[in-house]
Chain A
Amino acid sequence: GQQVMQIPQYQHVQEGEDFTTYCNSSTTLSNIQWYKQRPGGHPVFLIQLVKSGEVKKQKRLTFQFGEAKKNSSLHITATQTTDVGTYFCAGPGGDNFNKFYFGSGTKLNVKP
């Protein structure tokens, strides 16, 4: 079945440092979504990427979708303590677009 792998599992950074999480799929994705989950909270939608090679920015966050639509990345510039949380990528199943597969997430800790 569809698998979405995410690395690293954990990342500890000093405030002001950059952070990147990577998402890789075993199959081509029609699109990919990114979510953020604060400690003790629920996942919150950040963005969706659809086109091959697409790059989208949200303030200090930059999202990329690979040319082959099999990988994606989220980069945060100059992290802040408010960035703490777990970041998930998610994509539809290749055999059934109603099924949605989440990566295992990258837990970001930011030291002030």
Chain B
Amino acid sequence: NAGVTQTPKFRVLKTGQSMTLLCAQDMNHEYMYWYRQDPGMGLRLIHYSVGEGTTAKGEVPDGYNVSRLKKQNFLLGLESAAPSQTSVYFCASSYYPGYRDTQYFGPGTRLTVL
């Protein structure tokens, strides 16, 4: 099992550019999450999904869109990147809702927006 994988690992964007981050899990998990991590602020939930075809807003959803067309994949899109979106992005998944189950995290994507 690869667990949770994320691509790419690193990316540098210019302001206004767009990109998509891919998260894939091979554990047949229903729940998937996107977090961002900024220094001194812990992890903040951007969007989450409770199953294939579903998405919902988290704590800091503005400027991001997501899709979950397949159960194993959860995509995070930035339509027009801004310097404030410079961060480390983590994807996570769990079989049951995150509050009652272990969340398995991917290795992260380090994004810099110039």
Q: Which residues of A contact B (CB under 8 A)?
A: 1, 6, 9, 30-31, 33, 41-45, 48, 88, 90-92, 97-105
Contacts and interface: CB of A to CB of B under 8 A. Distances in A.
Contact of B98 (A9, A41, A100, A104): A100
19 contacts: A9-B40, A30-B99, A31-B99, A33-B102, A42-B106, A42-B107, A43-B90, A43-B103, A45-B103, A45-B104, A88-B42, A92-B97, A92-B99, A97-B97, A99-B58, A100-B45, A100-B99, A102-B42, A102-B43
Interface string B80-112: 000000000010100001111011111110000
B99 A103 contact: no
Given A33-B103, A88-B42, 8 more contacts: A43-B90, A44-B105, A48-B100, A97-B97, A97-B100, A99-B58, A102-B35, A104-B41
Given A1-B59, A42-B106, A98-B56, A104 B99 contact: no
Contacts of A30: 99
Interface of B: 31, 33, 35, 40-45, 48, 50, 56, 58-59, 90, 92, 97-100, 102-108
Contacts of B33: 100
B99 A43 contact: no
Nearest to A9: B40
Given A45-B103, A98-B56, A101-B59, A88 B97 contact: no
Nearest to A92: B99
Contacts of A97: 97, 99-100
Contacts of A6: 42
A100 B50 CA distance: 13
Nearest to A1: B59
A11 to B, nearest CB: 14
A84 B92 CA distance: 22
Contacts of B97: 92, 97-98
Contacts of B48: 98-99
B99 A102 contact: no
A42 B90 CA distance: 8
